[in-house]
Amino acid sequence: MADYIYTMEIRLTPDQLKGVGLVQDVARAAGMNLYLTGGAIRDIISGFSIRDLDFTVQGNPLKLQKDFEKAGAKIAAVEEDIRTIFLSLPGNARAEVSMARTERFEKTGKPPIVMPATIHEDLRRRDFTVNAMALSLNEGSRGLLLDPFNGVADLETKTIRILHNYSFLEDPSRLIRATRFAARFHWPLEERTQARYDAAKEGKYIDHILRSSIGHEIAALAHEDDPLNVVKMLEKEGWLQILHDRWTVAKVDTNGLSALMKTRQQMVDLGYTPDAGPAVMYFLTSHFSDKDVSDIQKLIPRKDLVEAWRDIEDHAKELAKRLMGKEAATPSRTWQLLSSARPEMVLFLAVTAKQQSVEQKIKNYLTKWRQVQQKLPLPEMTELLITPQLPIYPKLAHDVFMLLLDGKLRSRTETLKYLKPFAPPPPPPPPAPRRGRAAKAAADAAAAAATAAQAAKLGPKGKKGKAVPPAPAAPAPAVAKPEPKAKPSQKSKPAPKPAKKPAPKPPKKKTKKK
Ligand code: ATP
């Protein structure tokens, strides 16, 4: 049986995994059953990147707001009618916690009647089979996958399938969702789903889409890995205009968007996790008027996304100004400034900087300067016992890197000269072997074993003539004299001047005792 908890643990980012722990602790303390649901399960199983964590609780999550805040999450938005809270978890992880519910659609174009329900009932109100799975995070059933519509099978065949014939009629936003997923995953709609989709399109069901669903679908674009492709498909299907009547691909700064996604990938490869959402929205709406942008922003439920999008240009200007000032007068200072800036701002400025010097500094930060890190003489440092186990190591490595960046250490020799005073004293020698009768007994036993091994090697006749004498017992090592302590002390201190003292001698060679 598949171990979905293990798969979850290896597929989530460390921040997302911590987020699961946080939500789990809060739900458990409140005595609410908790499930990881929807797109998160789909992406965990299928291997796609996991954009956000969708949780479902049996109970009302709105009651947990204070507990989530106490645990370190920020409340990004609340939707009272469907009892859902949107969380920003530490480290750029996004989550949504919803009440398990049923939705009864009584009138086309009107919001459904929402009732609390069990997780099983909740899965029945979902859009597609691949999104209608839940993973239990509860004691006793942790790791159990609920998959009433055989979503795993559809994941295997890469198929998008609705749960019932009225799906698009009940909620026409599912037409947009179907197109978005088809564009993202390059999966086709299952045959009957396609037929229902075509009928819904022809019947103009989309005219009944709820305003709140439009906001959700706009926000979803912000987190696509290839937003341009999705927007093109939405335009082709006629859905982009539903999101905003003047929205076309011509409103998109396609060059800016491509550069953004490329730089984002570059940063991800370097280990950063920038939230590109606000910048994606900026480029998707670049050629809109301020009024249109503001109208679109009003529809988006997550206010943190809207605020970050609104402030993005001002924050980028601020960072650009600092990058042109004294604070970034040297490569090392620039490095420090950019390392402490939010990765999303570095990302945005990398593709929008107007000043060549700013552009160049960010480019160096993301490429050339990283290669300087390779100049740390690691083998020699290991010989000097300057290894990551030393408490001073991170600071020392950082200081050397900064000096290398600024050209203050120009060669391997200079770098080693700088490092030598920090070498710790060699470790004490191992204790001398036992002497007297115990040692003799051990030596005799070793000799007997060696003789037996040799005899076995030579075969019954000992063809090679004389047996090889047994290996001598291990000699007692000469007691190494402790080296004088290296100066300066191992405590973190500002970077010292290059060493004047001769380097501490390497430990004396062990002499064999005869
Ligand atoms: P993404 O990867 O874009 O975040 P997602 O599947 O996680 O996609 P969300 O909009 O975050 O989509 O919604 C979470 C889950 O809620 C979905 O996976 C689906 O189960 C359910 N859901 C969302 N919108 C609808 C809808 N319009 N009708 C039915 N179920 C929906």
Alpha carbon of 131 to ligand 1 centroid (Å):
7
Question: Terminal CA-to-CA distance of the chain, rounded, Å?
Answer: 63
Q: Which of 283, 265, 398 is nearest to 343 (CA)?
A: 265
Alpha carbon of 222 to ligand 1 centroid (Å):
15
What is the C-alpha separation between 216 and 349, in angstroms, rounded?
27
What is the C-alpha separation between 489 and 486, in angstroms, rounded?
7
Q: Which residue's alpha carbon is nearest to atom 8 within ligand 1? A: 39
Q: Which of 469, 482, 468, 473 is nearest to 513 (CA)?
A: 473
The pLDDT of residue 306: 97
Q: Which of 12, 16, 48, 54 should be mutated for ligand 1, with most atoms under 8 A from CB?
A: 54
> pTM surpassing 0.85?
no
Q: How far is CA 452 from CA 97, 340, 402, 472, 474, in A?
A: 70, 65, 60, 15, 18
Per-residue tokens: 270 = 């370097």
Stretch (H or E) spanning 84: strand 84-89
Quick one: residue 150, left, alpha or beta (phi over 0 = left, psi -120 to 50 = alpha)? left
The pLDDT of residue 408: 96
Atom of ligand 1 nearest to the CA of 171: 27
Alpha carbon of 96 to ligand 1 centroid (Å):
10
Q: Which of 48, 147, 177, 205 should be mutated for ligand 1, with most atoms under 8 A from CB?
A: 177
What is the C-alpha separation between 148 and 41, in angstroms, rounded?
14
Q: Which residue's alpha carbon is nearest to atom 12 within ligand 1? A: 39
Per-residue tokens: 401 = 């890197």
Longest dimension (CA), the chain: 101
E strands in 125-271: 134-136, 145-146
The pLDDT of residue 450: 56
Q: Which of 284, 281, 349 is nearest to 309 (CA)?
A: 281
Alpha carbon of 11 to ligand 1 centroid (Å):
19
What is the C-alpha separation between 418 and 402, in angstroms, rounded?
13
Q: Which residue's alpha carbon is nearest to atom 2 within ligand 1? A: 39
Q: Which residues line ligand 1 (CB under 6 A)?
A: 38-39, 51-52, 54, 96, 126-127, 131, 171, 173-174, 177, 216, 220
Alpha carbon of 455 to ligand 1 centroid (Å):
73
The pLDDT of residue 426: 83
Q: Which of 16, 127, 234 should be mutated for ligand 1, with most atoms under 8 A from CB?
A: 127
Query: How does DSSP assign 417-453, residue by residue?
Result: HHHGGGPPPPPPPPPPPP-HHHHHHHHHHHHHHHHHH
Atom of ligand 1 nearest to the CA of 180: 3
pLDDT in tens, the chain (514 residues): 689 999 999 999 999 999 999 999 999 999 999 999 999 999 999 999 899 999 999 999 999 999 999 999 999 999 999 999 999 999 889 999 999 999 999 888 889 999 999 999 999 999 999 999 999 999 999 999 999 999 999 999 999 999 999 999 999 999 999 999 999 999 999 999 999 999 999 999 999 999 999 999 999 999 999 999 999 999 999 999 999 999 999 999 999 999 999 999 999 999 998 999 999 999 999 999 999 999 999 999 999 999 999 999 999 999 999 999 999 999 999 999 999 999 999 999 999 999 999 999 999 999 999 999 888 899 999 999 999 999 999 999 999 999 999 999 999 999 999 999 999 988 888 887 766 666 666 666 666 665 555 554 444 444 433 333 333 333 333 333 333 333 333 333 333 343 333 344 444 444 343 3
Atom of ligand 1 nearest to the CA of 173: 27
Q: How far is CA 106 from CA 21, 82, 466, in A?
A: 38, 16, 100
The pLDDT of residue 1: 66
